[in-house]
Structure 1
Amino acid sequence: MGELEDFLTAMLDRQIAAETAIHNGDVEPRIALWSQSDPVTLFGAMGMSNVGWDAVSQTFRWVASRFSDCTAYSFELVAAGASGDLAYTVGFERSDLSVDGGPPQSTKLRVTHVYRREEGEWKIVHRHGDYVPADEPPADAAAEGPTH
């Protein structure tokens, strides 16, 4: 296997499981995947921007306290790379869950993660997530370019 395949094999299934857990209110699997050695950063879809493990981990606990009853979670990998002790993924997260005990809702986020290898293990050091704009064209239409 190549460097990218090794990274994806080591990380992707664990990260999908951790994200499914936080969407059900369990923060611990996500905490375990993140580096606790600064610098770590978070640009969250719910509007928060955090720098440093203390602030990032507090935000994760707050987010987990708001999420429950996840009936579906998926991650669509769009692009990834790995070189040496750094890697990244770009993709879409889709989920059906309850927020603050409300009715179930579907969400779709664009997400980018940056990873750093620490003592032989991949750890997340940055997450940037935002909601997909309602007027964004489908990926296949965007690839074709504008039509007139």
Structure 2
Amino acid sequence: MSDFDTFLDIRRQAAQAYVNGKVGPLDRLAATACPASFFPPHGGREEGADRVADVYARDAISFVEGGETTLEILHSDSVGDLAYWTGLQHARVRLNGQDEPVEMHLRITELFRHEDGAWKLIHRHADPLAEATAD
């Protein structure tokens, strides 16, 4: 198992904590140096390591205990100081102010850079998984 494969287990744990309102594990994985960016599921874009970390923290408080998520990794690789994974994130989450759990299915691409001896998330692109439309 490669260093990056081992890291992906840590990334899965951070995703699980996040959907339960805990940003700490993801914050420890987030890039501290630029460039860093985030394309959130609701659209738009965020740039800069500090700004991205702030958005992750702000969005995490939308979730409350009781969430579950899985990362369905379709493929991943690392070469030198760069790595990525792409696939799907499936979640059943509990949101502040909502009585019923919410299902979320996202298409994900994440890029990582080796910083100070550890993998750091430098880009996350997440958008809703939608059924393909007929051409």
Relative to the length of structure 2, the TM-score reads: 0.91
Shift of 1:84: 0.6
Q: As a proportion of its length, which structure holds more helix?
A: 1
Gaps of 5+ in 2: none
Contact 1:70 1:95 in 2 (8 A): no
Shift of 1:118: 1.3
Contact 1:94 1:109 in 2 (8 A): yes
Which is greater in Rg?
1
Measured on the aligned residues, the alpha-carbon RMSD in Å equals 1.6
Shift of 1:25: 0.6
Equivalent residue, structure 1, for 2:106:
109
Gaps of 5+ in 1: 138-145
User: Within 5 A, what are the aligned runs for 1:87-102?
Assistant: 87-102=83-98
User: Within 5 A, what are the aligned runs for 1:66-145?
Assistant: 66-102=62-98, 103-133=100-130, 135-136=131-132
Runs of 4+ with deviation above 3 angstroms: none
Distance 1:70 1:131, change over 3 A: farther
2:35 aligned with 1:39, yes or no?
yes
User: Within 5 A, what are the aligned runs for 1:22-33?
Assistant: 22-33=18-29
2:8 aligned with 1:12, yes or no?
yes
Does 1 or 2 have the higher relative contact order (CA < 8 Å, sep 6+)?
2
